[in-house]
Amino acid sequence: MPTSTDLCHHIADFIVNTRYDKLPQDAVEGAKKSILDTLGVILAAGGMEPAVRGIVEFAKESGGRPESSVLGFGGRVPAVMAAFVNGAMAHCLDYDDQTPWGQHSASSLIPAVFAVAERVAAENGAVSGKDMIAAVAAGQDLFNRFRRFVDWRKDWNFSTVMGVYCATAASGLLLGLSREQVTHALGIASMQSCGTAAVLNAVGSDLRAMYAGFPARGAVTAALLAQKGITGVPTIFEGKFGVFDMYFGNKYDRKSILDGLGTDYTGGLTLYKRWPAVGTAHSHIHATISLMNERGLDAADIDEIRVFVGDYHRLMSEPLEARRSPTTLVDAKFSLPFLVAVAAVRRDMSLDDFTQAALKDPEVLAVARKVLPVDDATLDWKLELPPGRVEIVMRDGRRFERVGTDVPGSVEAPMDWDDIVRKFSNCASFAPARRSAEQLSAVHQMVRTLEQVKDATEVLRALS
């Protein structure tokens, strides 16, 4: 393959030609919603996830130029470390946004571009709100194209393996990299592209919580090194031993990835979570809440809850006893039996259900012991994950069944601006340092009108 035809060169063209005035309005709104949503989730994570403290300490102990903000905790660290810390917090509650086909771009993308923006603003004066929107919209679109048209085998963590390239490209846009420099940055980013599915499915690890920090850090590193003149690999995606060859067995649709690239920005398709748990469990959660409310069921009278599971649902159910009684917040958010039990007992789900005390709630744990996964191959995850099915069996023999369709936050029932603002304010209430209602209002108004803001980093200063 001639080196000039590799996909990385097309992506570089896309990035250097992306401008705010080329974006459709839904892509503009999608970028702004993801910024506000992600900032809120980061703030909540800082106050809720114990592992965050170690990451913050590590970043602050590492020294270096005080370029970019550590959200929720105050202080500045080098841009690379700020991307790492904020990225780790962006996913650790599993409350970050997702594509309609699953997987996450914003938790690595938003921390990376804001870290770069603060560095650029310190050196050059400002990064406009329009430029920030353009960078986020470009990163979202690129991730969507990879997610739809690359054949993910569920052995690698797609969000980290491919997310680093999207965040790198967006960071390159804000740095004003040339076409050649963006190409090099994508090649350099391959050194940061990693993460097996074991990180997602293992019990007792902090890595599932913080994984987005690694592609965020890798993206900023790659973009800054390219700016310094470091060269990459010109056939990084499609060459022998390239990304598509090594990670995906060369199963990808090149034509579809490129179709409309630079004209059809798809960030407006982004979905925002109603509940702070892994998105692949939301249909089971919704089905359970609906049955409990519509049928007026009492959790104490439940004999068994059967959750029908495909291949990926099964990963959230094994080992069964550990999933029924998770010991960490990270595991609780990926434990289908526990999540369904919370839904049955609370008839809803919120951040309050994921504290150390909440993990020991005897009523929830009693119901979790009654959750039984039932294999159903029709629910296996292809491109789109089929909605989960739940059957509740009562002690008196009554049976109630429901499929989790029209899930809040889904394509059928998307969250609007008011929903996202409420989520942002609720998340901020869990931050290590509380913000006033006036501060929070100023932030969401600023993000909502970000195209009018001369310096996008003012958003972060408003949170400090």
Q: SS3 letters for 116-133?
A: HHHHHHHHHCCCCHHHHH
Query: Quick check: is 425 in a domain?
Result: no
Average pLDDT of every residue of the chain: 95
Tokens at 134, concatenated: 């353009």
What are 114-160's pLDDT values in tens digits? Answer: 999 999 998 888 999 999 999 999 999 999 999 999 999 888 999 99
Residues 10, 43, single domain; the answer is: yes
Amino acid in position 172: G
User: What are the pLDDT digits (tens) for 343-380?
Assistant: 999 999 999 999 999 999 999 999 999 999 999 999 99
Q: Is residue 69 within a helix (H) or strand (E), and if so which, with residue range?
A: strand 68-69
- The answer to whether position 443 is within a domain reads yes
The verdict on residue 129 lying in a domain is: yes
Asked if residue 1 has pLDDT above 60, the reply is: no
Cα separation, 89 vs 85, whole angstroms: 6
Report how far residue 372's alpha carbon sits from residue 380's, in angstroms, rounded to the nearest whole number: 18
| Residue 64 backbone zone (phi > 0: left; psi -120 to 50: alpha; other: beta) | left
Same domain, yes or no: 336 and 316: yes
Question: What single letter denotes the amino acid at residue 311?
Answer: D
Q: How confident is the model at residue 3 (pLDDT cuts 50, 70, 90)?
A: low
Give bridge partners of residue 394 from the DSSP assignment: 302
Q: Decide if 122 contacts 113 (C-beta within 8 A).
A: no
Q: Please check whether residue 348 lies inside any domain of the structure.
A: yes
* CA–CA distance, 330 with 206 (Å, rounded to integer): 7
Report how many domains make up the chain: 2
What is the pLDDT at residue 130?
98
pTM of the model: 0.96
Tell whether 95 is covered by a domain. yes
Query: Do 383 and 451 share a structural domain?
Result: no
Query: Are the C-beta atoms of 117 and 463 separated by less than 8 Å?
Result: no
pLDDT > 90 in the chain, percent: 90
Judge whether 385 lies within some domain: yes
Using the 3D structure, point to which of 362, 384, 403 is the last residue of a domain: 403
Q: Is the domain of 439 the same as that of 386? A: no
Same-domain status, 131 and 223: yes
Q: How far is CA 5 from CA 1, 9, 240, in A?
A: 7, 7, 14
State the pLDDT confidence band at 286, using cuts at 50, 70 and 90.
Answer: very high
Q: Are 387 and 381 within 8 A, CB to CB?
A: no
Whole-Å CA distances, 363 to 60, 275, 356: 41, 20, 15
Q: Helix %, strand %, coil % for the chain, to 5? A: 60, 5, 35
- Same domain? 285 vs 145: no
Instruction: Give the CATH number of the domain where residue 394 resides.
Output: 3.30.1330.120
pLDDT greater than 90 at residue 385: no
**Residues 164, 100 share a domain:** yes
At 205 the pLDDT is: 86
Let me know: does 55 contact 88? Beta carbons within 8 Å.
Answer: yes
Q: Which of 403, 424, 446 is the last residue of a domain?
A: 403
Side chain identity, residue 10: H
At 241, give phi and psi (nearest 5°).
65, 15
Query: Is position 350 within any domain?
Result: yes
pLDDT in tens, 308-352: 999 989 989 999 999 999 999 999 999 999 999 999 999 999 999
Answer yes or no: is 422 within a domain: no
Which residues, listed in sequence order, are joined to residue 84 by a DSSP beta bridge? none
Same domain, 374 and 441: no
- Examine the domain organization and report whether 243 and 304 are in the same domain: no
Q: How far apart are CA 96 and CA 147, in angstroms?
A: 16
Same domain, 263 and 129: yes
User: Where residue 166 sits, what CATH number does that domain have?
Assistant: 1.10.4100.10
Domain identity same for 241 and 329: no
Domain that holds residue 294: 279-403
254-284 tens-digit pLDDT? 999 999 999 999 999 999 999 999 999 999 9
**Co-location of 210 and 348 in the same domain:** no
Last residue of a domain, one of 354, 387, 403: 403
